[in-house]
Amino acid sequence: MSRLFEELKEGIEAAIKHAEGAKSSTEIRERSFEATEIQEVRLKTGLTQQQFASVLGASMATLQKWEQGSRAPSGAAARLIQIIAYRPSIVKEALGFTPAPAKRRPRSAAA
């Protein structure tokens, strides 16, 4: 059988197991972020802290705590940051944001 058929078959089998209540065999890795990484991701999008917090569904105070390292994002916010880090243009594509260029770089990124 073709590789495509095998992949489709595996997908259908996984969907049936999921519908029956079985846990997925696909393992999703959690990702933790350093404070400077969150700021770097935000600057890559060209968004202000207020805009980036809005995109993530977090308050600006929470985003500031993430960027300072006193707290770390978890759950949906961490996953969304991971997606944005992989492809910063996704914010503009999905949400229609047209960000201005970032005004500064994080201190650790400047070299």
Quick count: other Cβ atoms within 10 Å of Cβ 87? 10
Question: Alpha-carbon distance 72 to 64, whole Å?
Answer: 10
pLDDT at 65: 95
pLDDT at 46 over 60: yes
Closest listed residue to residue 14, CA positions, set 5, 4, 6, 25: 25
Closest listed residue to residue 30, CA positions, set 58, 61, 72: 72
- At the top level of CATH, the class of 35-95 is mainly alpha
Half-sphere exposure for 54 (CA within 13 Å, toward CB)? 8
pLDDT at 13 over 50: yes
Ramachandran assignment for 106, one of left (phi > 0), alpha (psi -120 to 50 degrees), beta (any other): beta
pLDDT at 111: 46
What's the whole-number mean pLDDT along residues 58-65?
95
Least confident of 24-28, 46-50, 61-65: 24-28
